[in-house]
């Protein structure tokens, strides 16, 4: 894993393998570089045909212009002052260009805390790779850059705090990516519970785990019904961070389906290939709670993770079964592939019992979310306009792409059942919305609740882009951390 540090050394005289400098579209270099060197480099870049387009990488042997043998320029784009998201992407492009180097200094412009944070976040997220399961047959590829010095003053409190926040947040996102990328055989529900316990070792977070017997004793009928088709028993995980002088309580709920075969309503093979990602909401909760505790935020956070493997074994639930959710409401299960809402219903009822100020769940809940919003935008739905807007605003501050959706009256109507209180599928139209309508039934109307459908952004099947790798992306982690900060700061009142 790449490590980042602050350095206020003169870039051209620092002993590193590579010096990374931001350039504008007129090939202007940062003013920390001596004027004569700047003008020489400008001419070299022009000769090489550099354009300074955002994220464009040009490598130049320093030829004595700097102690570092290699100068890497990265285009800042038309705006010499890129915003935080643009900066994260630029820094990620630079980090990838540094593969195989040991050390580098990156200077994109005047070192403000905002720029330090965005640069370090981009470097750490961009340098991510998942190698845990590479075996003897793996071709050696260049390692991610080991150490990156980010321009900034280590003695300045604001600079140091910005770097520290970037590290904690990026490490949480990368840890969530690891959990999502781990093959489902290696991460059944009981292992996911162990991962939650391991993640918060040394931190003031308590973890409670319901095993299958305890789940049965407490009547968690949704989790048990989905879990009963698998040889790997289900779990419910509760993580609690309760610092002194907390400003309120945030409940985070994450869908933890460690593998979604669809159950007896079996998915076709193609649709199953990526279904190890169906615990991305759970990964986001585990890693966000960890980060919130590491940051020492003054807010109570309770993480709830219902986790199951959805399999079609001999004990599997059948289409037509009626199950009883925690709290007593009954559900007619007509499609066993609409399983996420069943386990989330148990967890939402249980989470609301503790009367938190805000409940936010994240779930890879519907293929319909991918149809509606594509694979880079999450859907935000809620039981009130104000809470939906507030949660969306937090997602924007965090730099995650999300958009608003309604929970229309007719979506709820399609869930009416003749034999139970509610059905687990609607009429097939607006599937993301009827899933949200189902969840809303299990949250008391007076309790503020928002739902994030992260089915698209949680897993990147395409090529890497910006700071997003192939595979698990760590979606919702940054929004969850931002929500805790915003609640602590009174921005969610
Ligand atoms: N885990 C899936 C949703 C999903 C699809 C996540 C694609 C990520 C990528 C969920 O459990 C599911 O199977 N949903 C069904 C619901 C339907 C049966 C009402 C779906 O979307 O097809
Ligand atoms: Mn499913
Ligand atoms: Zn699922």
Cα–Cα distance measured from residue 94 to residue 78, given in angstroms and rounded to the nearest whole number: 17
Q: Report whether pLDDT(470) > 90.
A: yes
Confidence of residue 79 (pLDDT cuts 50, 70, 90): confident
Kindly report, residue by residue over 352-408, the tens digit of the pLDDT: 999 999 999 999 999 999 999 999 999 999 999 999 999 999 999 999 999 999 999
Over 90: is that where the pLDDT of 13 sits?
yes
CA–CA separation, 359 vs 349, rounded Å? 11
C-alpha pair distances (Å), 263 with each of 191, 283, 340, 361? 21, 22, 12, 23
Indicate which atom in ligand 1 lies nearest the CA of residue 435: 19
Which is the closest atom of ligand 1 to the Cα of 425? 19
Which protein residue has the closest C-alpha to ligand 1 atom 13?
Answer: 337
Under a CB-based contact definition with an 8 Å cutoff, are residues 307 and 340 in contact?
Answer: no
Q: Whose CA is nearest to atom 5 of ligand 1?
A: 367
pLDDT at 80: 83
CATH number of the 3-136+145-151 domain:
3.40.220.10
The CATH number given to 173-488 is 3.40.630.10
Catalytic residue among 54, 267, 470, 491: 267
Tokens of 340: 């996420």
Give the mutation target among 267, 278, 367 for probing the ligand 1 site: most ligand atoms within 8 A of CB: 367
Longest Cα separation, the chain:
81
Q: Is the pLDDT of residue 2 over 90?
A: yes
Whole-number Å distance, alpha carbon 258 to ligand 3 midpoint, is 9
Tokens (6 digits) for 123: 């470097």
Inter-CA distances, 14 with 45, 149, 209, Å: 22, 10, 50
User: Cα dist. 87→82, 106, 119, 122, 467 in Å?
Assistant: 6, 12, 6, 7, 10
Q: What is the pLDDT of residue 493?
A: 85
pLDDT tens for 414-425 read 999 999 999 999
Closest-approaching ligand to the CA atom of 374: 1
Choose one of 180, 259, 274, 366 to mutate for the ligand 1 pocket test, by most ligand atoms within 8 angstroms of C-beta: 366
Task: Give the residue extent of every domain in the chain.
Answer: 3-136+145-151, 173-488
Q: What percentage of the chain has pLDDT greater than the value 90?
A: 98
Q: Is 267 a catalytic residue?
A: yes
Same fold, 3-136+145-151 and 173-488: no
- Mean pLDDT along residues 325-354: 99
Which pLDDT score, from 0 to 100, does residue 141 have?
87
CA of residue 249 to ligand 3 center, whole Å: 28
The number of the ligand nearest the C-alpha atom of 424 reads 1
Cα of 427 vs centre of ligand 1, distance in Å, is 15
Cα 121 to ligand 3 centroid, rounded to whole Å:
30
Residues with CB under 6 A from ligand 1: 260, 278, 335, 337-340, 364-368, 370, 425, 431, 455
The C-alpha atoms of residue 96 and residue 106 are separated, in whole angstroms, by 13
Is residue 341 among the annotated active site residues? yes
For tokens 């940051």, name the residue.
295
Mean pLDDT of the chain: 98
Q: What are phi and psi of 14, to 5 degrees?
A: -80, 135
pLDDT tens per residue across span 137-162: 999 888 999 999 999 999 999 999 99
DSSP structural state of residue 408 = -
**Residue 112, CB-side half-sphere exposure with 13 Å CA sphere:** 9
* Residue to mutate (ligand 1; options 282, 365, 375, 475; most atoms within 8 A of CB): 365
List the beta bridge partners of residue 302: 240, 251
For tokens 């643009």, name the residue: 86
CA separation, residue 455 to residues 210, 299, 358, 362 (Å): 26, 28, 22, 9
- Mean per-residue pLDDT for 3-8? 98
């Amino acid at each position: 894993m790449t490590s980042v540090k602050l350095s206020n050394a003169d870039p051209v005289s620092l002993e590193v393998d590579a010096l990374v400098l931001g350039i504008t579209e007129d090939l202007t270099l940062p003013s920390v570089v001596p004027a004569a060197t700047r003008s020489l480099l400008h001419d070299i870049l022009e000769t090489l045909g550099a354009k300074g387009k955002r994220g464009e990488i040009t490598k130049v042997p320093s030829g004595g212009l700097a102690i570092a043998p290699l100068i890497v320029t990265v285009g800042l784009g038309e705006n010499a002052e890129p915003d935080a998201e643009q900066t994260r992407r630029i820094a990620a492009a630079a980090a990838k260009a540094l593969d195989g180097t040991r050390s580098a200094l990156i200077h994109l412009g005047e070192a403000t805390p905002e720029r330090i944070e965005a640069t370090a976040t981009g470097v750490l997220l961009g340098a991510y790779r998942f190698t845990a399961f590479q075996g003897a047959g793996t071709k050696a590829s260049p390692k991610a850059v080991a150490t990156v010095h980010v321009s900034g003053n280590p003695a300045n409190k604001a600079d140091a705090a910005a770097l520290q926040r970037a590290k904690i947040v990026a490490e949480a996102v990368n840890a969530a990516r690891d959990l999502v990328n781990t093959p489902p055989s290696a991460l059944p529900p009981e292992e996911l519970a162990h991962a939650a316990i391991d993640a918060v070792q040394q931190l003031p977070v308590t973890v409670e785990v319901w095993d299958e017997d305890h789940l049965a004793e407490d009547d968690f009928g949704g989790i048990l019904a989905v879990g009963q088709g698998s040889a790997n028993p289900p779990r419910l995980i509760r993580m609690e961070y309760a610092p002194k002088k907390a400003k309120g309580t945030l409940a985070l709920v994450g869908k933890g389906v460690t593998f979604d075969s669809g159950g007896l309503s079996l998915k076709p093979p193609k649709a199953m290939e990526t279904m190890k990602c169906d615990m991305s909401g759970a990964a986001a909760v585990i890693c966000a709670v960890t980060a919130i505790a590491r940051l020492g935020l003054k807010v109570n956070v309770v993480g709830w993770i219902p986790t199951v493997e959805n399999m079609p074994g001999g004990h599997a639930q059948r289409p037509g079964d009626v199950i009883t959710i925690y709290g007593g409401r009954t559900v007619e299960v007509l499609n066993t592939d609409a399983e996420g809402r069943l386990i989330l219903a148990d967890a939402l009822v249980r989470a609301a019992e503790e009367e938190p100020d805000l409940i936010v769940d994240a779930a890879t809940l519907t293929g319909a979310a991918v149809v509606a919003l594509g694979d880079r935008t999450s859907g935000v739905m809620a039981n009130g306009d104000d809470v939906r807007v507030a949660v969306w605003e937090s997602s924007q501050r965090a730099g995650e792409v999300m958009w608003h959706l309604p929970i229309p009256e007719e979506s709820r109507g399609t869930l009416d059942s003749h034999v139970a209180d509610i059905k687990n599928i609607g009429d097939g139209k607006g599937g993301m919305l009827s899933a949200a309508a189902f969840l809303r039934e299990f949250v008391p109307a007076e309790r503020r609740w928002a739902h994030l459908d992260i089915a698209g952004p949680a897993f990147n099947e395409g090529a890497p882009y910006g700071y997003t790798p192939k595979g698990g992306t760590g979606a919702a982690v940054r929004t969850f951390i931002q929500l805790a900060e915003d609640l602590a700061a009174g921005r969610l009142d």
